[in-house]
Structure 1
Amino acid sequence: MNFSQKLVDHGCKITFVNTEFIHQRLMSSMAKQESLDDSPIKLVSIPDGLGLDDDRSDLGKLCDAILSTMPFILEKLIEDINLNDDDKITCIVADVIMGWALEVGSKLGIKGVQFWTASATMFALQYNIPMLIEDGIIDSNAPFLFGTEGFPITKGTFQISPSMPAMDKGAIWWSNIYDPTTEKKIFKYLVHCMQNSNLTKWSICNTTYELEPGALSYVPKLLPVGPLLRSYDNTNGTVRSMGQFWEEDYSCINWLNQQPPCSVLYVAFGSFTLFDQNQFNELALGLDLTNRPFLWVVRQDKKMTYPNELLGSKGKIVGWSPQLKVLSHPAIACFVSHCGWNSIMEGLCNGVPFLCWPYFTDQLYNKSYICDELKIGLGLNLDENGLVSRWEIKKKLNQLLSDEQIRARSLELKEMVVNNVSEGSGSSNNILRFVEWLKS
């Protein structure tokens, strides 16, 4: 959605196609905003193939349903628009995980590009699936690619290219979803989507040359256009971007205004992370033990019980936050994060150190990237019960907040990353290149 807004700023008109399930969540979160009738971004939706009561966190089942349902419906939607609408569809920008949309475009004579929402390194990883099989890094039980399992054969590290850091095999994202059947389905689906890379001139990525030089030089067609950040109207603080799953609680900004500079722990784990009650308790008690003010995002769809010790704490708990405004607030001291790529980019743009608590997929690699490559964060260790204990949380937070070198590096990276969006700089120029290609 942020990239769509960038294109709108350059005179493009956008038809934003979502699944009906996600579309409804977006519309619900925008219920109190102004009418979208005159917006240059037109929101439309198509079914994902699952029923209303189906579990969309079953990613394997979702992949199967998408591939059997959505291509045909998308093709019909585009045909209808081009037949009846004054604004014809002239290009398709498809999330890599919806790569089959490029096949639809090719069939209709419409050019397309891929959009990758994670790091350039993760794109390079899956771009090289055939090489991973050939080099014996992931397994193959059949002579054809669709017969492969996609799992690492041994433990250890490997390198995609000499220009890139070594990667732990456990960070191969499609093999750490914790359910082998689901992992196989996702891998098969991913291979199908990646095979459409040859249909594109560009693969657009929310990163910068300075952050991932090795991966970007290894995959020259990757066009870094990051950081892609939400836009705010500075006159009244309203949001231009429409890409939110839940309504944001702006009361947390007023609360932050009352806190001392660089004092607040910001804790948020994105839209997918799940904790059981025991781990939830340890997190709550760990935050309480620090005796610091904290802002904790706990989604309202997760019914958890808070320990009694938290009742008199210094913290504020909200269901969903305006994250970019929170991270840019001078009261924020650090970001306790699941290490999703968008959260990383937002944290980097505000010079905020990370306490890394990855959940699954690319988040495991992102944690290593933050701690070992960028050196702007710390990770957490499990105890003998497989939990991150309250004492570990307190210890690492105290260590992180007392490390002046981590804070200094965070501020250096902030300047480097944010400079990319200024006129005449890397990402800004790349967006102009893309728009010029679109208009030609």
Structure 2
Amino acid sequence: MAPRVMVLPLPEQGHVTPLMELSHRLVDHGMEVTFVCTERTHALILGGLGHRTNGYEALGGIQLVAIPDGLADGDDRRDISKSLAGLSWSIRGHVEELIRATKVKWLVADATVVGMCYEVAKKLAVRIACFSPMPAAYLGTLLRIPELIADGFFDDNGIPKRQGAFLLAPNTPPLYTAHVPWGVAGGPEVQLTFFQNASRNAQAARLADMVLCNTFHDAEAVAFELYPEILPIGPLFADGKTVGQFLPEDTRCIKWLDAHADNSVVYAAFGSTTVFDPSQIQELAEGLELAGRPFLWVVRPDFSSGFGGLRKAWFDEFENRTAGKGMVVSWCAQQQVLAHRAVGCFLTHCGWHSVLEALRNGVPMLCWPYFFDHFTIRSYISDVWRTGLAMSPGEDGAISKEEVSTMVERVITDHVIGERARILGDAACRSLAKGGSSYENFQKFVNILKATL
């Protein structure tokens, strides 16, 4: 019987996908994987498979197991604070039951939930690999929370005591006290909840048997000098395999891209949780139109609550007006899109998994960060790697259509940025090839798993 590993992601697309990619890699090395997700996430993954209703076969033998998320039927599962609170009190018991039932010896836990199940796993003599779907620099910041408090950057509740930005070390992305890693919209109680959760996860990560990160050495060389315990094993990908998409992929866009010249298309996508207000969506739409370049734009059904009445009529008219130049889809196969020769720049919310997909393919980026680690990643792109540019909001905090148009043209025509992106993409590919640092680190992880399962 093949050894079995349990994998536990945060129930969000940007966390499910890299852990699903990691699961495929483990299956390729002769292991069986129990992939634990909430009931809502389970339903979304199966829905995203479309006509491929046999999830076990579609996922290459990865076994999906659903657990309750701790919320009531009427609760808003888009509310990150509520979702985190529900998961925090419900996950322990369910993970304990599954460990006893499957008799696994290793739990690969997302760094954002590892603190919720650490004590249960250790009680049952299960070893833990903490996996970070975020940059090593971001994870390292969380690991240094006690030092940051002692140095006077934050108080004991995670509230900034200084203003502006500071560096943990030269050539690392700056940390902005206004954009703390646990910062979300909400009052002091919400902020405190996220800070406490971040602190708990950081403590569990420190005590884990292994700490893995979806990144590669050349992207974050200084971070690995600061945090040598973190092993880079990325960029993870699973070309041609199902990776747990929450929405059905519109594959028409690949043929649409085929009809366009190399490096000519602007690809705009903002992940699975980013939400814009209607006026900002209008500025973005008109900015893409004003740029005059072909564009592929992913607009989720829940991208804004403002699509209704006249607003929907306006957007329909925009689509009709730009039909010869742009294409709007609700979701797409992003790995295929970013690997396509026609894509010349990626307008992104700076989600780490999306950025890694762009890096691997040498695609320049235009940054529009939303929350959490997005600001750290923006700094990497625009200041450290210099493989893209950052958008500048106006005094009202919004991005104007003129800014969108101007910055799209700048990033897509800047050959120096393009060359840096290609160089970093080559480095990413070397890290994954036999003998590369990510390749060797993953082999080390697999050998340890096999020796102890």
- TM-score strictly above 0.5: yes
**Which residue matches 2:122?**
106
CA distance in 2, matches of 1:157, 1:381: 17
CA distance in 2, matches of 1:397, 1:193: 38
CA distance in 2, matches of 1:199, 1:136: 25
Matches within 5 A, 1:282-293: 282-293=283-294
What TM-score, normalized to structure 1? 0.92
Range that drifts further, 154-163 or 379-388: 154-163
Residue 362 (structure 1) aligned to one of 367, 370, 373: 373
**Which residue matches 2:259?**
258
**Which residue matches 1:11?**
30
Kindly indicate whether the alpha-carbon contact (under 8 Å) linking 2:173 and 2:379 is maintained by their aligned counterparts in 1: no
State the identity %.
36
Matches within 5 A, 1:29-428: 29-33=48-52, 35-37=54-56, 39-82=60-103, 89-99=104-114, 100-140=116-156, 149-161=157-169, 164-177=172-185, 179-232=187-240, 240-302=241-303, 304=307, 305=312, 306-307=314-315, 308-313=317-322, 314-428=325-439
Once the 2 structures are TM-superposed, how far is the Cα of residue 422 of structure 1 from its aligned partner?
0.9
CA distance in 2, matches of 1:310, 1:178: 35
Count of residues paired in the alignment: 419
Range that drifts further, 211-220 or 244-253: 211-220
Q: Which amino acid in 2 is paired with 1:401?
A: I
Once the 2 structures are TM-superposed, how far is the Cα of residue 133 of structure 1 from its aligned partner?
0.6
Q: What is the DSSP-based 3-state SS (H/G/I as helix, E as strand, rest coil) of the residue aligned with 2:131?
A: strand
Once the 2 structures are TM-superposed, how far is the Cα of residue 34 of structure 1 from its aligned partner?
5.8
CA distance in 2, matches of 1:129, 1:384: 32
Deviations 1:99-158 (A, max 9, x none): 122221101111111010100000000000000110010112xxxxxxxx2121121222
Deviations 1:155-193 (A, max 9, x none): 122232457454332332212545433221111112122
CA root-mean-square deviation: 1.6
Unaligned stretches of 5+ residues in structure 1: 83-88, 141-148, 233-239
CA distance in 2, matches of 1:311, 1:398: 23
Q: Which amino acid in 1 is paired with 2:201?
A: C
Alpha carbons of 1:163 and 1:388: their partners in 2 closer, same or farther (altered >3 Å)? closer
Alpha carbons of 1:184 and 1:102: their partners in 2 closer, same or farther (altered >3 Å)? same
Unaligned stretches of 5+ residues in structure 2: 1-19
Q: Which amino acid in 1 is paired with 2:105?
A: T
Kindly indicate whether the alpha-carbon contact (under 8 Å) linking 1:284 and 1:310 is maintained by their aligned counterparts in 2: no
CA distance in 1, matches of 2:160, 2:145: 11
Alpha carbons of 1:126 and 1:37: their partners in 2 closer, same or farther (altered >3 Å)? closer
Once the 2 structures are TM-superposed, how far is the Cα of residue 389 of structure 1 from its aligned partner?
0.6
What TM-score, normalized to structure 2? 0.89
Kindly indicate whether the alpha-carbon contact (under 8 Å) linking 1:170 and 1:176 is maintained by their aligned counterparts in 2: no
Range that drifts further, 330-339 or 172-181: 172-181
Q: What is the DSSP-based 3-state SS (H/G/I as helix, E as strand, rest coil) of the residue aligned with 1:386?
A: coil
Kindly indicate whether the alpha-carbon contact (under 8 Å) linking 1:58 and 1:182 is maintained by their aligned counterparts in 2: no
Q: What is the DSSP-based 3-state SS (H/G/I as helix, E as strand, rest coil) of the residue aligned with 1:174?
A: coil
CA distance in 1, matches of 2:55, 2:407: 45
Q: Which amino acid in 2 is paired with 1:71?
A: R
Pick 1 or 2: higher relative contact order, CA cutoff 8 A, min separation 6.
2
Q: Which amino acid in 1 is paired with 2:386?
A: K
Structure 1 consecutive aligned stretches of length 4 or more whose deviation exceeds 4 Å: none
Kindly indicate whether the alpha-carbon contact (under 8 Å) linking 1:2 and 1:228 is maintained by their aligned counterparts in 2: yes
